[in-house]
Amino acid sequence: MKKTTKLFLLIGIVLTQSLYSQYNGDYQTIKERPLKKELPCEFSWAAVRTATGMRNFTSAHREQPFQGPCLSFAFNAAIETTYMIEYDQMSPLKLSDAYLDMKVFSEDMNAYKTVLESGFEIPKHIPGSFEYMPSTFLPGVDSWFDTAYNSFRLKAMNCINDGRNFVVSAIDEPPTTYEVLDTCGDFVTEDDYLSVDDVIAIPMDIIPTVKDLKEIIIEKGPVVIKVNNEKIGSEYTLQKFKNYTTPSIETLSYHAFTLIGWEDGPGDTTKWIVKDSWLSAGAVSNMMSDTEFIDLLTSETIELYRVENVVKNDTLPNVSTFTVDYDLQCAPVPQPFFLMSIGVELHYAWIGGKLYSKFFVHSNIEADEWEWSILTPSYTTSEIHGSTHSSILLSPHESGYVSLKVRARKDGVWTPWKHKTIYVANGSSGGMY
């Protein structure tokens, strides 16, 4: 069911024409009017300066567990931030990426428009119940297109179509195999949920320059971008945005993330500040030519969408939408320094008659020093430190749960410890090297 008064209008054609005029006029206003004032040299919805201090309008980064659901992560990131802007909220509401992904299950951005504008209710994430979790959600599934994933999705859809949560649960001990249960969870409406009234494509004629896109981001909120990954010369399209390694992206047909801000570079160049669900890639944003960006949009190599009129729990906001004070945004802001989640490759290598698993972590910017601490009696080797990543090989003395932690230092300041606990087999052997 739609959440605004649009459905109460009786004449569909008049409604459609009215909406087209509304958004066409809105974009025309952005495109044709002079900018209200000079855009700040940098801006991010994750670090908005206000008269009372810094505000973050984004939820925590989270990682997609396999290839396929990047569009759902990107749209949810845009919805979560737009909700905080339109409701002027200080605290984020984390949505279920799995719930949206299993419903839409499409590479077409317009499919998200169709589903979301139908009044689809995206539930708040309930830890452990119906969320994608790297290394634990449906092990053995590495793509949308696995037969196993599709069988899980059919079960989940029975619950989604009934407006209920679906439940993912371990079916063995220690947990190595997970299943979507036949029994559905609670109705979505029994907890917080969000819906979206308008999903708006942003075509080339709306943003003839990069400055027009920047004004949409700072005035309206984040923009979802889908990058069709074409090989251009010796590099791929995705590498124009971030320094992804070639082996990791050469098989990808596309990837999607959310533009939440920018940093102006020398000349007419821009480094886009993005919220990306592919955290394990450890890629950082590149500076790219504004002309090159517009060329990609003109050729439809990239597609842009945004959301508007987010509704929480079927109730419209009763406060004014937050607006950015341009004059406060360009003061120097220390770049936050943080670590991604610890990743693991079980049974990575046989060394000296022992089976080692590889634990690794990435930082968002270059680190000066790394430190691992192993909390379970184990053999360790091959501790390797790079500028933005670190790894260690570990083999426990006995099979069981292994706990370890890692931290990094930058300019004399250490990050908080990142912890990992996982079941690892001992794997001792006298004959394999």
What are the pLDDT digits (tens) for 369-381?
999 999 999 999 9
The pLDDT tens digits for 329-349 are 986 656 789 999 999 999 999
Q: Alpha helix locations (H) across 49-96? A: 70-86
Residue 69 DSSP label: T
Whole-number Å distance between alpha carbons of 173 and 404? 21
Query: How open is the CA angle 337-134-176, to the nearest 5 degrees?
Result: 140
On whether the CB atoms of residues 372 and 354 are closer than 8 A, the answer is no
Q: Alpha helix locations (H) across 140-194? A: 147-160
Do 355 and 414 belong together in one domain?
Answer: yes
Do 12 and 139 belong together in one domain?
Answer: yes
Whole-number Å distance between alpha carbons of 212 and 312? 29
Does a structural domain hold residue 333? no
Give the residue from 303, 328, 353 where a domain finishes: 328
Residue 285 DSSP label: B
Q: What's the domain range around 358?
A: 343-424
pLDDT under 70: residue ranges of the chain: 1-36, 127-145, 175-177, 331-334, 428-433
Residue whose token pair is 């940093």: 263
Does a structural domain hold residue 234? yes
Quick one: tokens of 412? 């004399």
Does a structural domain hold residue 131? yes
Neighbouring CB atoms inside 10 A of 189's CB total 13
| Residue 208 pLDDT | 87
The pLDDT tens digits for 146-203 are 777 777 888 889 999 999 988 877 777 776 667 788 888 889 999 999 999 999 999 8
| Residue 171 pLDDT | 72
pTM of the predicted model over 0.85: no
Do 311 and 347 belong together in one domain?
Answer: no
CATH code of residue 164:
3.90.70.10
Q: Alpha helix locations (H) across 146-260? A: 147-160, 210-220, 238-241, 246-249
The pLDDT tens digits for 313-322 are 999 999 999 9
Instruction: Give the total number of structural domains in the chain.
Output: 2
Quick one: tokens of 32? 């044709």
Do 324 and 352 belong together in one domain?
Answer: no
